[in-house]
Amino acid sequence: MPNSLNKTTQTKDELETPVKSSPELAVFPLPIFLLPGGRQRLRIFEPKYLAMVAQAAQGDGFILATQDNSNSEHHSYWGTKVSIVDFNMSDDQILEIDVEGQELVQLHSSFRSQDGLIKSRFSSMPHWPELEYKVPNVVTAFLVQLFRDHDSIRNLYPTPDFESSQWICARLLEIMPIPIEKKTKFTEPTSFPSLVPFLNQIITGQ
């Protein structure tokens, strides 16, 4: 690639063949786990990421990829393509943006461009299929209580979907203090039925 300065290192072998059907998007490495439909508030202050936000606001979005805390050059082989749904200037004059996950994607041939941003081609990754799956009432009640107790969570979701088992479990998986490595196991399309008892066990201790 003509812009390429150096290849970034990922935590799993990625496909080296570029995906012709996808454009290159900026990759924002952060120690964050976000699924489709999930929202996160980000504080943006580095010039390269301010430029990324300006570009993303035109409709393309960007990709959040899990960062290795011990080495900022390492990020996961997959990420979540996000769009910006709101923005605000904080009291300390830092730009805050709310992003929403659109789809899971696999990254292909990531590289660092001349503006300092990591960029990558990508392809869609399947997530949980629509299933008629009832979650225990205690799981739903736990998430509802989190929304009541925490303004920072409630303000991100003006229209929460407490009727959807998948929405409930996805938000709990994002919010709860579970190692990201364990959370990642539940991105597999067939993992949802095992996620429900996993969350139930954590919440009830049984």
Residue 118 and residue 142 in one domain: no
Q: Angle at CA 167, nearest 5°, toward 162 and 171? A: 100
Residue 26 and residue 120 in one domain: yes
- Which tokens in the block code for residue 178? 């579970």
In a domain, 15, yes or no: no
In a domain, 13, yes or no: no
Q: What is the DSSP string of 4-31?
A: --EEPEESSPPB-S--TTS--EEEEEES
Of 124, 149, 168, the last residue of a domain is 124
Q: Which helix (H) or strand (E) holds 143?
A: helix 137-149
| pLDDT for the residue numbered 69 | 56
| CATH number of the domain bearing residue 84 | 2.30.130.40
Residue 28 and residue 91 in one domain: yes
In a domain, 2, yes or no: no
Residue 114 and residue 149 in one domain: no
Residue 87 and residue 141 in one domain: no
In a domain, 60, yes or no: yes
Residue 29 and residue 118 in one domain: yes
In a domain, 162, yes or no: yes
Q: How many domains are contained in the chain?
A: 2
In a domain, 130, yes or no: no
Domain that holds residue 113: 22-124
In a domain, 8, yes or no: no
| pLDDT for the residue numbered 60 | 87
Of 124, 145, 160, the last residue of a domain is 124
User: Alpha-carbon distance 18 to 25, whole Å?
Assistant: 13
Q: Using CB atoms within 10 Å of the CB of residue 30, give its burial: 0 to 12 exposed, 13 to 18 middle, 19+ buried.
A: middle
Residue 178 and residue 100 in one domain: no
Residue 119 and residue 83 in one domain: yes
User: Alpha-carbon distance 203 to 206, whole Å?
Assistant: 8
Q: What is the mean pLDDT of each run of 10 residues along the chain (206 residues)?
A: 41 45 85 96 95 91 81 74 95 95 93 91 92 90 98 96 96 96 94 95 90
In a domain, 77, yes or no: yes
Q: Which helix (H) or strand (E) holds 162?
A: none
Residue 46 and residue 98 in one domain: yes
